[in-house]
Structure 1
Amino acid sequence: MQYHVDGDLVAREEATVHVEDRGFRYGDAAFETCRAYGGEVFAWERHRRRLANTCETLGMPDAVPADLAVRVAETLDANDLADAYVRVSVTRGVQPGKLTPREAVDSTVVIQVKPLPRGGVDSDPVWDGHATVQTVKTRRTPSAAVPADAKTHNYLNGIMARLELRRVTNEGYQPDEALLRDIDGNLQEGTTSNIFFIDDGTLKTPATGELLPGITREHVLELAADESFPVETGTYSVDDLREADEAFLTNTTWELRPIDEVDGLQVGSGPVTNLLRRLYDQRVETRCY
């Protein structure tokens, strides 16, 4: 495997960053997880825009290189990959060990890839079975502390939630995702996913503000609007999810993953989830294959 590091393709084993890089020292960096289908990065402009927005939030608005799409294509080509996971990271770069960053930014840009199955119509999902999810005590970091719409390298909040899952995992119970609530106890998101559920025919998902609005989440809302589904974004409790007729998680790699179980209670898939999965596959097929 070859990765792209600061403009050069290098062997994975040699792909490193400086120990004084602020992405390593402080998590002072932005990233995007994308998925390539048939050699085409799906929703690339949306991912690039969110990456640029995160960099602007971090005070480094010019950190994303103009040739980023070319670098991604070079990385896919070098590894002979058409269907792949693609991660793009942009750090503030190497600077002295002071918390306050310099105004001048010489960003570090890293692109990593790995193979994934073909997507689109008649594809097999990357996940192994429907998801088991578990509510955790760790709360979602408030947006007033860390902007919720900034996708940064600092994932300590999610790591702490996943560590809680380790404590409840046993031979008969192995959760796939942790459910995060806000400080007031309202349902927000998974550690790496957004949440949808269907209640009496209405597709519902927590409103943005305290969660990261995912790119796949955007596509699902667009597909539902195209089908004239009743859609609601609002404030919900974990009980709303536990008592739902159907539920699923979304992220770029999983696409739409049905939720089988919430805190030991059965939920499962259904006609709305299955239809949205088919429509998402068709959108990928049309745009990328």
Structure 2
Amino acid sequence: MGEELYYHVDGNLVPASEATVSVDDRGFRYGDAAFETLRAYGGTVFAWDAHLERLERTCESLSLEHGLTAADLRSRIDETLAANGLADAYVRLSITRGVQPGKLTPQPDVEPTVVVYVKPLPRGGLAGEPVWDEPATVETVETRRVPDEAIPAAAKTHNYLNGILARAELGADVDEALMCDLEGHIAEGATSNLWFVRDGEIYTPTTDGPVLPGITRQIVLDLARDAGLTVHEGLYELVAVRDADEAFLTNRTWELRPVATLDGCEIGGGPVTERLSRRYDERVERTCYE
């Protein structure tokens, strides 16, 4: 799409080149903000209720009482998609604590900054195509996942330093960094949840550790169990993934992306990954396109 996109900033649709927030905004100063990454398929925001629920949990973790209704937030997303003529799109919704006096302690009175930005994506579902060109190359990194006791793993905030440091370790052609917790157990990718398959059974790190409870992760869990597949959530060593029959990553944009290699060891997708990808596409098709 050649025309400039429109973003939604504090209740106004503005050209992307004019979309700005104050340098005194706490989202800029401290990463003091909550966000959600969503996908629109055929004009429908997929799994909106689940995203809204997680957004509210993040705001509770931040003690950020923004005072906005679900209907208000959704209308800003819908207006942004309509203004750009987009039915299939990446959508990011951010809520910061706004501008407050220049000190670290947050104040209870909040005038939040709310930003929605979008970009076009391919059609999803059964007639769609993935946003990625190839299965992912993955490397483990020295950067460890921040313990849940320090920063709640379930809080999806603008503070992405942990993931940035992990990605900064990667080689030029590597797609994702795989982080461990402080005890050396596999946790998650910088922006994705990890899965692997052995003897037809599925394994994924537990969210009892420092692992973001991804919306796509939960959908895949439900799809796998509905299909009668055995799913394990636990603590796993790196060798278990390297020796797996299949491995894949999930996030909202990638959906399910097979892991081609981990630290140079070939893994790849397979029948379980393909079956779950098909069921995911069927869910999107039924929910958003039919």
TM-score bin, normalised by smaller chain: over 0.9
Equivalent pair of 2:203/2:231 in contact (CA under 8 Å):
yes
- Aligned pair partner of 2:127 in 100, 118, 122: 122
CA distance in structure 2 between the partners assigned to 1:127 and 1:238 by the alignment: 25
1:268 maps to: 268
Which residue identity does 1:233 align to in structure 2?
E
1:190 maps to: 189
Task: Kindly state the Cα deviation for residue 242 of structure 1 after the two structures are TM-superposed.
Answer: 0.5
Matched, 1:161 2:166: yes
| Secondary structure of 2:124's aligned partner | coil
Task: Kindly state the Cα deviation for residue 128 of structure 1 after the two structures are TM-superposed.
Answer: 1.3
| Secondary structure of 2:141's aligned partner | strand
Matched, 1:38 2:42: yes
CA distance in structure 2 between the partners assigned to 1:120 and 1:194 by the alignment: 21
CA distance in structure 1 between the partners assigned to 2:129 and 2:68 by the alignment: 33
CA distance in structure 1 between the partners assigned to 2:253 and 2:263 by the alignment: 23
Equivalent pair of 2:260/2:269 in contact (CA under 8 Å):
yes
Task: Kindly state the Cα deviation for residue 259 of structure 1 after the two structures are TM-superposed.
Answer: 0.4
Deviations 1:183-231 (A, max 9, x none): 0000000000000000111110000021101000000000001111011
TM-score by length of structure 1 reads: 0.97
Between stretches 236-245 and 60-69, larger displacement belongs to 60-69
1:20 maps to: 24
**Count of matched residue positions in the alignment of Structure 1 and Structure 2:** 283
CA distance in structure 1 between the partners assigned to 2:15 and 2:136 by the alignment: 34
Task: Kindly state the Cα deviation for residue 62 of structure 1 after the two structures are TM-superposed.
Answer: 3.7
Task: Kindly state the Cα deviation for residue 61 of structure 1 after the two structures are TM-superposed.
Answer: 3.3
TM-score by length of structure 2 reads: 0.96
Matches within 5 A, 1:15-94: 15-66=19-70, 67-94=72-99
Task: Kindly state the Cα deviation for residue 65 of structure 1 after the two structures are TM-superposed.
Answer: 3.8
CA distance in structure 1 between the partners assigned to 2:34 and 2:85 by the alignment: 26
CA distance in structure 1 between the partners assigned to 2:65 and 2:153 by the alignment: 18
CA distance in structure 2 between the partners assigned to 1:20 and 1:180 by the alignment: 33
CA distance in structure 2 between the partners assigned to 1:4 and 1:42 by the alignment: 19
Deviations 1:154-182 (A, max 9, x none): 000000001000xx33xxxx210000000
CA distance in structure 1 between the partners assigned to 2:88 and 2:130 by the alignment: 13
Equivalent pair of 2:66/2:111 in contact (CA under 8 Å):
no
| Secondary structure of 1:208's aligned partner | coil
2:140 maps to: 135
2:149 maps to: 144
CA distance in structure 1 between the partners assigned to 2:231 and 2:281 by the alignment: 20
CA distance in structure 1 between the partners assigned to 2:174 and 2:15 by the alignment: 35
Task: Kindly state the Cα deviation for residue 63 of structure 1 after the two structures are TM-superposed.
Answer: 4.4
Runs of 4+ more than 3 Å apart: 61-66
Which residue identity does 1:45 align to in structure 2?
D
Equivalent pair of 1:52/1:61 in contact (CA under 8 Å):
no
Equivalent pair of 2:65/2:110 in contact (CA under 8 Å):
no
CA distance in structure 2 between the partners assigned to 1:185 and 1:259 by the alignment: 20
CA distance in structure 1 between the partners assigned to 2:66 and 2:79 by the alignment: 22
| Secondary structure of 1:137's aligned partner | coil
Cα RMSD (Å): 0.8
Equivalent pair of 1:64/1:90 in contact (CA under 8 Å):
no
2:101 maps to: 96
Note the residue ranges of structure 1 that are not aligned, 5 or more in a row.
none
Distance 1:64 1:259, change over 3 A: farther
Identity %: 61
CA distance in structure 2 between the partners assigned to 1:164 and 1:123 by the alignment: 33
Equivalent pair of 2:43/2:88 in contact (CA under 8 Å):
yes
CA distance in structure 2 between the partners assigned to 1:34 and 1:205 by the alignment: 22
